[in-house]
Amino acid sequence: MSLPYAPRFAYYDGKLQSGSSNSSFQTINPATAEPLAQIHTTTNAAIDAAVASAQKAFPAWSATPPIERARVLQRAASILRARNDELARIETSDTGKPFSETSTVDVVTGADVLEYFANMVGSGGMNGETTQLRPDAWVYTTKNSLGVCAGIGAWNYPIQIALWKSAPCLAAGNCMVYKPSEFTPLHAQVLASIYAEAGIPPGVFNVVQGGGEVGAYLTKHPGIAKVSFTGQVSTGRKVAGSAAGEMKYVTMELGGKSACVILPDADLEQAVDGAMMANFFSTGQVCTNGTRVFIPEAMKAGFEKLLLEKIQHIRPGDLQDLATNFGPLVSKPHYEKVKSYITHGIENDKARLLCGGAETPSWLTNHTNKAYQNGYWVQPTVFTDCTDDMKIVREEIFGPVMSILTYKTVDEVVARANNTDVGLAAGVFTKDLNLAHQVIAKLEAGITWVNTWGESPAEMSVGGWKMSGVGVENGKKGLEAWVKNKSTLVEMGGVVPTVFAKL
Q: How far is CA 379 from CA 202, 205, 327, in A?
A: 46, 39, 10
CATH of the domain at 311: 3.40.309.10
246 and 271 share a domain?
no
503 inside domain: no
Q: Which amino acid is at 253?
A: E
Average pLDDT of the chain is 97
The domain total for the chain is 2
pLDDT of amino acid 1: 66
5 inside domain: no
125 and 137 share a domain?
yes
289 and 372 share a domain?
yes
Planar angle of CA 449, 452, 455, nearest 5 degrees: 75
207 and 264 share a domain?
no
460 inside domain: no
* SS3 assignment, position 298: helix
82 inside domain: yes
For 281-329, the pLDDT digits (tens) are: 999 999 999 999 999 999 999 999 999 999 999 999 999 999 999 999 9
For 436-472, the pLDDT digits (tens) are: 999 999 999 999 999 999 999 999 999 999 999 999 9
- Is 182 a catalytic site residue? no
276 inside domain: yes
205 inside domain: yes
For 222-256, the pLDDT digits (tens) are: 999 999 999 999 999 988 888 888 899 999 999 99
CB atoms within 10 A of CB 136: 12
269 and 241 share a domain?
no
Rounded to whole angstroms, the Cα distance separating 321 from 316 reads 10
Helix axes 158-171, 66-82, angle to 10 degrees: 160
For 61-95, the pLDDT digits (tens) are: 999 999 999 999 999 999 999 999 999 999 999 99
Rounded to whole angstroms, the Cα distance separating 416 from 257 reads 12
Q: Which amino acid is at 6?
A: A
Name the pLDDT band for 45 (thresholds 50, 70, 90): very high
Print burial letters for 307-341: b (CB count within 10 Å at least 16), e (below 16).
beeebeebebbbbeeeebbbbbbbbeebbeebbeb
Rounded to whole angstroms, the Cα distance separating 185 from 8 reads 8
CATH of the domain at 48: 3.40.605.10
Domain that holds residue 173: 11-255+468-487
310 and 372 share a domain?
yes
190 and 108 share a domain?
yes
Percent of residues in the chain assigned helix, strand, coil, to nearest 5: 40, 25, 35
284 and 419 share a domain?
yes
91 inside domain: yes
Residue 368 clears pLDDT 80, i.e. is over it: no
201 and 159 share a domain?
yes
DSSP-derived letter for residue 473 is B
Rounded to whole angstroms, the Cα distance separating 39 from 26 reads 6
Q: Is the CB of residue 21 less than 8 Å from the CB of residue 40?
A: yes
Catalytic entry in 91, 182, 253, 304: 253
pLDDT of amino acid 370: 86
Residue 149 clears pLDDT 80, i.e. is over it: yes
For 463-502, the pLDDT digits (tens) are: 999 999 999 999 999 999 999 999 999 999 999 989 998 8
Q: Stretch 217-221: mean pLDDT, rounded?
A: 95
Rounded to whole angstroms, the Cα distance separating 443 from 501 reads 57
DSSP-derived letter for residue 307 is H
186 and 308 share a domain?
no
Q: Stretch 154-180: mean pLDDT, rounded?
A: 98
93 and 200 share a domain?
yes
199 and 339 share a domain?
no
2 inside domain: no
